[in-house]
Amino acid sequence: MARIEHFGTTADGREVRKITLARGGLTVCLLTWGAVLQSVRLAGVAHDLTLGSDRLADYEGEMGYHGVLIAPVANRIAAARAVIDGREYRFEPNDSGATLHSGATGAHRQIWDLVEATESRATLGLNLPDGLGGFPGNRRAEARFSLGDSVLRLEIRGTSDAETLWNATNHSYWTLDGGGDFTGHSLQIAADHWLPTTAAALPTGEIAPVQGSAMDFREPRLLTPGRPALDHNFCLSRGQIALREVLHLQGTSGLRLSVATTEPGVQVYDARGARRPGRGNYEGLALETQGWPDAPSQPGFPSIALRPGETREQITEWRFARP
Q: Which residues are catalytic?
A: 171, 288
Q: Are 24 and 142 in contact, with CB atoms under 8 Å apart?
A: no
C-beta of residue 174 within 8 angstroms of C-beta of residue 284:
yes
| Residue 208 per-residue DSSP state | E
CB 297 within 8 A of CB 198: no
- The SS3 assignment for 286 reads strand
Could you give the angle at the alpha carbon of 284 between the alpha carbons of 7 and 78, nearest 5°? 90
Sign of CA dihedral 267, 273, 278, 283: positive
* Of 262, 272, 261, nearest in space to 232 by CA: 272
R_g of the chain computed on alpha carbons: 18
Distance CA 96, CA 323 (A): 43
Report the run of H or E that residue 82 belongs to, with start and end. strand 81-84
C-alpha distances out from residue 296 to 49, 239, 276, 321, Å? 34, 14, 32, 38
